[in-house]
Amino acid sequence: YVQDILKKNNYENILEDHVIKVDDILKISVSLENPETLQMFSAVSTTTFSENRESLVYKGYKVDNKGEINYPRLGKLKLKDLTVFEAADFIFNEITRKGILTSPSVDIKILNLSFTVLGEVKLPGKYYFDQKINFLEAIGMAGDLTINGNRKTIKIIRKHDDKLQVSTIDI
């Protein structure tokens, strides 16, 4: 796919930070150097290796129609329109401002980011990903194009601000 990449037009690959939207499902992890201190803080994720994506989604915090989540010990927090990093900073500041914990580490993952691949690929379907992914990674997750796949007019359809954007790529 990339053997003549220098001969073709360069496609600018802009990967923007995800902005939290209504219906996003967040996994919020708070950690400290001393884990025993966290027992009093019920929002702590006790993720084990046996948890799968579905169980994490079930335990996640869904952003409601007002753009808020109900977080233990902090109450309603408006996270809509913040990036994941801004939301983590916001939660960190609320935890420390209220004196609940000092110097916690806050990590947020969005659990329902997905894309769908249709057409002449080995494994068409819906795929979940974590934060940033590019086009070639998405095709790779779908098992690559079949021998019959048209490599000159691949359509990418994205929803941005409630509008569909259609792009065509020639690989």
Q: Percent of the chain having pLDDT more than 90? A: 47
Which of the listed ranges 9-23, 87-101, 146-160 does the model predict with the highest average pLDDT?
87-101
**Does residue 144 register a pLDDT over 50?**
yes
Hey, is 122 helix, strand or coil?
Answer: coil
Q: What is the pLDDT of residue 143?
A: 95
Distance CA 88, CA 86 (A): 5
pLDDT band at 134 (very low <50, low <70, confident <90, very high): confident
Q: What is the mean pLDDT of the chain?
A: 83
pLDDT tier at 32, thresholds 50, 70, 90: confident
Radius of gyration over every alpha carbon of the chain, rounded to an integer in angstroms: 20
Amino acid 160: pLDDT: 76
- pLDDT computed for residue 43 by the predictor: 46
Q: What is the mean pLDDT of residues 33-60?
A: 63
6: Cβ contacts below 8 Å, ≥ 6 apart: none
CA angle 47, 49, 53 (to 5 degrees): 75
Contact 13, 134 (CB under 8 A): yes
